[in-house]
Amino acid sequence: MKPLILTDIEGTTSSISFVRDVLFPYARRALPGFVRQHGRDPHVRRWLDQVATENGGVCSDDMIVEMLQGWIDQDRKHTALKALQGLVWEAGYENADFTAPVYPDAAKQLRAWHAAGFPLAVYSSGSVPAQKLLFGHTDAGDMTGVFEGWFDTAVGHKRDAESYRRIAAEVQRAPGDIVFLSDVVEELDAARDAGLRTVLVDRREDYDTPRTGDATNGHQRVDSFADITP
């Protein structure tokens, strides 16, 4: 049986700078108007109320927006923030304010693996709708069709081994039949603790200094998807 390839997005299939310099500032700018316009829609309200509840309960929408903007600045991987960011980015993609860059080696290899029958899935802190938007609007076209599974922090955080056990259970695979690709060693450590195979994707565009020797913490390291043999 071919292993399932599970990939991270930011720093792995797409540049960190696209997420930090395009997506996050777009969400930061658009949030106040988005909350004014959609704050009463139940699928938006539930996330705003969750933020308010976690901060003592009584918060105006302006306060909630300020809190969320602070979390964007801190790169918090909070499920409510990630869900709201996804909803805000929807307009950005649909108005063609931006497309999502996917590294050419990643786009090519993901398509080749899919064509060769390797099952592919995504695991990112970005919400599943945000993941589908990103892969639906890449500079290499719509890539959503190559993936059969999508996972976000609803299964747990990426530095927690339990999240990878849940993913293995959901895709009905032994952990050893899954290869996880990421740029973050702590995420790979958690995946390895759960029994997954791991590959550190170490891109010069995202990291000045190669992670070699002890810095890989024993994970296989590649510069490009072309060097991965699943």
Interface with ligand L4RZE5RM by CB under 6 A: which residues?
8-11, 19, 23, 77, 82, 85, 124-126, 130-131, 134, 158
Name which of 160, 203, 165, 166 is nearest 181 in CA terms.
203
CA distance 72 to 94: 22
Strands 197-201 and 4-7: unpaired
**Quick one: what does residue 202 bind among Mg ion, ligand L4RZE5RM, none, with the CB cut-off 5 to 8 Å set by partner type?**
none
In the bound complex, what is the minimum distance in angstroms from residue 43's beta carbon to ligand L4RZE5RM?
18
Applying CB under 5 A, does 11 fall inside the site for Mg ion? yes
> Do residues 163 and 155 lie in contact, with contact meaning Cβ atoms separated by under 8 Å?
yes
Q: Taking CB under 5 A as the rule, which mask of x and - marks residues 161-200 in contact with Mg ion?
A: ----------------------x-----------------
For residue 200, report the phi and psi dihedrals to the nearest 5 degrees. -85, 115
202 binds Mg ion (CB under 5 A): no
* Cβ atoms of 79 and 159 closer than 8 Å: no
Nearer to Mg ion, 11 or 92 (CB): 11
Which single residue is written with the structure tokens 């696209």? 18
The answer to whether 10 contacts Mg ion (rule: CB under 5 A) is: yes
CB of 107: closest distance to ligand L4RZE5RM in angstroms?
15
- Residue 227 carries which DSSP code? G
Cβ–Cβ < 8 Å for 101, 138: yes
Shortest distance, position 96 Cβ to ligand L4RZE5RM, whole Å:
17
Nearer to Mg ion by Cβ, of 54 and 186: the residue is 186
- Residue 191 interacting entry, from ligand L4RZE5RM, Mg ion, none, C-beta within 5 to 8 Å by type: none
Q: Find out whether 168 and 174 touch, Cβ atoms under 8 Å.
A: yes
